[in-house]
Amino acid sequence: MQTIETEVLVIGGGATGVGVARDAALRGFATVLVERKDLAEGTTGRYHGLLHSGGRYAVKDPQAARECAAENGVLRRIAADCIEDTGGLFVTTPWDDVEFGDRFLAGCAATGVGVEEIEVGAALVREPALNPDIRRAFLVADASMDAWKLAWACARSAVEHGARVLTYHRVTEVLRNGDAVAGVVTVDVRTGVTLTVRAQVTVNATGAWAGQLAALAGCRPVDVVPGKGIMIAMNHRIVNTVLNRCTMPSDGDIIVPIRTVSVVGTTDSPVTDPDQLEVTQAEVDHMLDEGEKLVPGFRKARALRVWAGARPLFGAKEPGDEKTRDITRAHTLLDHRQRDGLDGFVTITGGKATTFRLMAEETMDLVARMASPGTDRPCRTATLPLPDSEPGAYYAVGSRLAQRERHLLDDQLVCECELVSRRDLTEALDRRPTANIDDIRRALRLGMGPCQGGFCTYRATGILHHQERLDQATANRALLDFLQERWKGLAPILYGDQLRQARLDDWLYQGLLDVEHLPAAAGAP
């Protein structure tokens, strides 16, 4: 078995993990990150997409509000290329208490969340689809943030500073050296090859899986309750500003315009296993009903896809016995030496995607004291922009269309919905060879538009087959896996336009291509 040595080992390739890895690498630590799947395939890639202004927590969770407000400003400086500056509105719908607006303003003032109450008419001019019966409107600095772009930019920056990032490496064992954690054993889920990583300090950044991982280390139970939330992406941008209900946080009270879609969410219910997140018809209906309150006619728009994520909520007693919504959204950093007498091991969990950088900074402040006591290695992530990001240069929804227009004549479209060209695809494969179309999806948004892979999956498979020299059975497996993956998000929302689309896609794949009978390699584990 191969062994590698490092100073800092990070487990988990979500926002928190890549944030820690970048922070560690920038402080000059030898760093390795292991992730069992692809980067941001856990909660980070399944979140609502909102870079919080802090408004949402201004009344209920002042600490979370304060942290979000500060980090919002920091990320706008260092990660502008991952952010669309949509702005956000908190609105009082007929279902909400008008007085809450005053508490909201007071809460914002107390926590440093920038806010301005505007005329209802002005809000309606800005967002014509908004419910005309709203009674108050407040403008905040909410924005939408592309989690995949963010995770990859952090990882790239970490790698540029010497870190190693190992995706598809699952931690199966935590190595102990007496009262200290000495590293982990991982298995490459694609090849089955095992690898030992020895480290001075191991950071458990596995989010909702942090309890499972801590159990492998054999410390006292880490009480993380996965809080399931569902979201539905609607086919286009019905609004261009983040819309929040001005009320205590509740289900389905936010619509986030991100990239080409508008996402309504979310719910919050405790579950036992973050890998088992079922979406029920009742939840879908509930989301659409709530969406309708913010945007009349919402139900008639085309639902594109539904998915669920698991919040890493720390400190609830046990699943089932209380609403997870009441747990703080601020994060938890555990020093297991203090807590369990277990050296070289820390857990960082909870929090928000918005506060990932702060979480990483606090984690690395602790890790730096453990790994190189007495030396001063300050955090640099609050000021050093990510690769490709310039302060203030946000992305816009039209950026990709503008880029496509420049190559109309010399490049072919592969994914028509999300405007992914053949060159985009081959370049992505050059950067990171893969036999998995879902990896390409996260990198390029391929297959994420209205037809949900109907027209691009077979094209991408052909290019993959050609460029990666996949044999026929492996290429067929890639196609089938991707179709299966897309189908998961469609099944619970099959009505109206999306049902029609699914029928057409089905005719293509079953009727025309007879994919059920393709000779395909066995599925991935």
Partner 1 sequence: MEDPVRASLDHCVKCTICETACPVAQVTPLFPGPKYEGPQAERFRQPGASADHSVDYCSGCGICSQVCPHGVKIAEINSRARAAYKAEVGAPLRDRVLARPGVTGPMGSPVAPVVNRVMANGPARWVLERAVGLHHSAPVPPYAPRSFQRWARSHRRGAGVHPDGRSVVYFHGCSTNWFEPDLGRMVVAVLERNGVQVRVPDQGCCGLPLQSNGLFEPARRTLRHLAHDLAAGGGDEPVVASSSSCGLMLKREGREILGLADEDLRAMGERTYDICEFLLDLHDQGALDTDFRRLPLRVLYHAPCQQRGHAMGTPALDLLRLVPGMEVVESAGGCCGIAGTYGLKKEKYGIAMAVGEPLFEQVRTGNPDVVACDGETCRWQITAASDHSSVHPVALLFWAYGLEL
Q: Tell me, residue by residue from 48 to 87, as one string, x for binding to ligand FAD by CB under 6 A and - for no binding.
A: xxx-x-----------------------------------
Tell me whether residue 469 or residue 500 sits nearer to partner 1 (CB atom).
500
DSSP assignment of 80-143 equals: GGGEE---EEEEE-TTS-TTHHHHHHHHHHHHT--EEEE-HHHHHHH-TTS-TT--EEEEE--E
| Cβ proximity to ligand FAD, 316 vs 520, nearer residue | 316
Helix H or strand E segment including 413: strand 413-415
Q: Which residues in the 343-402 window bind ligand FAD by CB under 6 A? A: 351-354
Q: Angle of helix 457-467 relative to helix 472-490, nearest 10 degrees?
A: 150
Per-residue binder mask for partner 1 (CB under 8 A), 290-329, x = binder: -----xxx--xxx---------------------------
- Is position 91 an interface residue for partner 1 (rule: CB under 8 A)? no
Which CB sits closer to partner 1, 59 or 238? 238
Cβ(463)–Cβ(414) below 8 Å: yes
Question: How would you classify the pairing of strands 420-421 and 164-166?
Answer: unpaired
What's the CA gap between 472 and 8, in Å, rounded?
41
Q: Please report which residue ranges of 163-308 form alpha helices under DSSP H.
A: 210-217, 281-294
Binder of ligand FAD out of 266, 324, 332, 436 (CB under 6 A): 266
Name the 3-class secondary structure at 230: strand
Q: Interface residues for partner 1 in 451-480 (CB under 8 A)?
A: 451, 454-455
Kindly tell me which residue out of 20, 108, 129, 140 binds partner 1, with binding defined by CB under 8 A. Answer: 129
Where are the strands (E) in 178-317, listed by range?
180-188, 194-204, 224-234, 242-245, 254-258, 261-265, 269-270, 303-314
d(CA 53, CA 113): 7
Contact 437, 482 (CB under 8 A): yes
Closer of 128 and 392 to partner 1 (Cβ): 128
From residue 181 to residue 210, the character string flagging contacts with ligand FAD as x (rule: CB under 6 A) and all else as - is ------------------------xxxxx-
Nearer residue to partner 1 within complex by CB, 109 or 495: 495
Residues 222-241 that bind partner 1 (CB under 8 A): 235-238, 240
Q: At what angle do helices 437-444 and 457-467 cross, to 10 degrees?
A: 110
Asked if 342 and 333 touch (Cβ cutoff 8 Å), the reply is no
Please say which residue, 432 or 500, places its beta carbon nearer to ligand FAD: 432
Q: Which of 109, 393, 396, 524 binds partner 1 (CB under 8 A)?
A: 396
Give the separation between CA 353 and CA 269, rounded to whole angstroms.
19
Is 102 an interacting residue with respect to partner 1 (CB under 8 A)? no
**By the rule CB under 8 A, 509 interacts with partner 1:** no
| Site residues, partner 1 (CB under 8 A) | 128-129, 235-238, 240, 260, 295-297, 300-302, 396-402, 404-405, 408-409, 413, 416-417, 419, 449-451, 454-455, 497, 500-501, 504
